[in-house]
């Protein structure tokens, strides 16, 4: 069998695997059960950007990314720590302000969106990384910007233990992330857990992403999609055993 034939067979298999997903999405759109603005959140390495890209492609929605690779201070923060925390956070804050300003109408009535972040995450990181004086300055600047970001129709919060996050960060091989230690990831995961414990502005789907492979396992992704489409209430948990999907 030629390489071209193998490639064609792989493409056909992929199309056959995704066809039911597209059908499910189309039914959900017709019945108005598909959320129009989806925010995917979770700590570093949990897979939020990968999942956001998949959902945007499947839903046919625009994709908005947090743009961590655009922050010139981020690599210094991971290398030097607290001394680079304030400029890192201020860059993200001003970048978020521009993203809010660039959202047409700022009400999402006439469009849909998938994002790999929530606007509230900046404050979460600021409280974790800044000292009291820096935090006060950050909050003063934040307040002066008068940001009014739209509220998601659904937040997908991905969880995983710090050790799993560290393994995934090391595996993806981004140079400046290699110095991230497990203690920081543990503190970050705890901050996310505390934040979402009290968060009630939008429905939240809490996903145990420790052993689920959304990127390369179509059954895992399909199971998550079923949860998204049939989301009920304001808080739902998705904690499947990967061998049973």
Residue 13 covered by a domain: no
Q: Is 147 exposed, middle or buried (0-12, 13-18, 19+ CB in 10 A)?
A: middle
11 assigned to some structural domain: no
- Within a domain: 148: yes
CATH code of the domain containing 111 = 3.40.50.300
Q: Which domain holds residue 194?
A: 34-244
Is 23 among the domain residues? no
- C-alpha to C-alpha distance for 3 and 237, rounded to whole angstroms: 43
| Predicted local confidence at residue 19, as pLDDT | 77
Q: Is the residue at 163 inside a domain?
A: yes
pLDDT at position 242 is 64
Mean pLDDT, consecutive 10-residue segments, the chain of 245 residues? Answer: 37 53 86 92 94 95 90 91 93 91 60 89 91 96 90 95 94 84 94 95 95 87 92 90 62
Q: Looking at the domain assignment, is residue 61 inside a domain?
A: yes
Other beta carbons within 10 Å of 167: 14
**Do 172 and 49 touch, CB atoms closer than 8 A?**
no
**What's the total number of domains in the chain?**
1
Task: List phi, psi (to 5°) of 193.
Answer: -60, -40
Give pLDDT, residue 130. Answer: 96
pLDDT digits (tens, 9 = 90+) for 181-197: 999 999 999 999 999 99
Q: Does some domain include residue 220?
A: yes
Q: What pLDDT is recorded for position 119?
A: 87
5 domain-assigned: no
**Confidence (pTM):** 0.87
């Amino acid at each position: 069998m030629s390489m071209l034939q193998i490639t064609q067979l792989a493409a056909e298999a992929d199309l056959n695997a995704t066809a039911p997903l597209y059908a499910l999405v189309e039914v959900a759109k017709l019945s108005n059960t598909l959320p129009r603005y989806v925010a995917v959140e979770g700590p570093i390495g949990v897979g939020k950007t990968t999942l956001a890209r998949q959902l945007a492609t499947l839903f046919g929605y625009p994709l908005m990314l947090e743009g961590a690779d655009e922050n010139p201070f981020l690599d210094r923060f991971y290398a030097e720590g607290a001394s680079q925390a304030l400029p890192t956070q201020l860059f993200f804050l001003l970048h978020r302000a521009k993203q809010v300003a660039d959202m047409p109408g700022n009400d999402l009535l006439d469009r849909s969106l998938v994002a790999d972040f929530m606007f509230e995450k900046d404050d979460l990181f600021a409280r974790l990384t800044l000292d009291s004086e820096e935090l006060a300055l950050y909050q003063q600047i934040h307040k002066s910007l008068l940001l009014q970001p739209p509220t998601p129709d659904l937040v997908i919060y991905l969880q995983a233990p710090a050790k799993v996050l560290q393994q995934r960060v090391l595996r993806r091989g981004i140079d400046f992330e290699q110095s991230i230690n497990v203690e920081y990831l543990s503190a970050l995961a705890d901050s996310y857990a505390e934040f979402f414990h009290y968060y009630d502005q939008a429905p939240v789907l809490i996903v145990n992403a420790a052993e689920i492979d959304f990127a390369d396992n179509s059954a895992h992704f399909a199971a998550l999609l079923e949860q998204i489409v049939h989301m009920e209430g304001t808080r739902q948990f998705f904690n499947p055993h990967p061998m049973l999907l």
